[in-house]
Structure 1
Amino acid sequence: MKYELKQHFQIESARFLPHLPADHPCSRMHGHSFKIILTLKGDLDPQIGWVVDYHQITQVMQPLLKQLDHRVLNEVEGLENPTSELLAKWIYERALKTLPILQRVTIMETPATECTYPV
């Protein structure tokens, strides 16, 4: 039987969305307290009693968070148009390399909005 794990992270970042009309508020520089939720799915290690160590997930995420936290996301390579959708994909593709049981990344740019990749 598989278990589903979730771990939450938060970053403070600025961005603007360059492909929007000039009169759209998100076309201007603005900031968000982004919540990042990683969802992993895997088998229980019967000897240890867990699927994966949460500390291991944190270690995988630290270099990625360092690139994103307190930064202008448009200046991060691969995030020139840093929509929540593209941010979720950017994190997923990089974290999956060392977390093969990663299922999805959810980005919340406000408490009322969220985007998940992949579905």
Structure 2
Amino acid sequence: MTDTQTLLKRAADHLTAAACLTRCDDIPSSHAVAGVIELTRAGIAPGALEDVGPTPGPASTLGRLHAALAALDTIGPLDGPPDLLAWSWQVADLIRILEARKAAQP
């Protein structure tokens, strides 16, 4: 496995963990957000779900999303897939949405 593949897999594993953590939230939109996280994961590393195992990392959804974004940002623009920037933007947007949702909670 190349460095790029390893980083893509790491990002996908963090996104899988983030989706699981999100489903445990008591916020009404949690399942919808988890679904978007899972779709993003599938776009970053299609078919990698069968390889998912325990991935050390932060114990929060936002922490996992930041870890996934850090892994994606480590990949050189010419080393990753052509849509790498779009997936990085998607993860960054998920972070923004969840931070806004957290700030709006009483």
TM-score by length of 1: 0.29
Structure number having the greater helix percentage: 2
Structure number having the greater strand percentage: 1
* Larger RCO (alpha carbons 8 Å, 6+ apart): 2
TM-score by length of 2: 0.31
Mark the structure with the bigger radius of gyration: 1
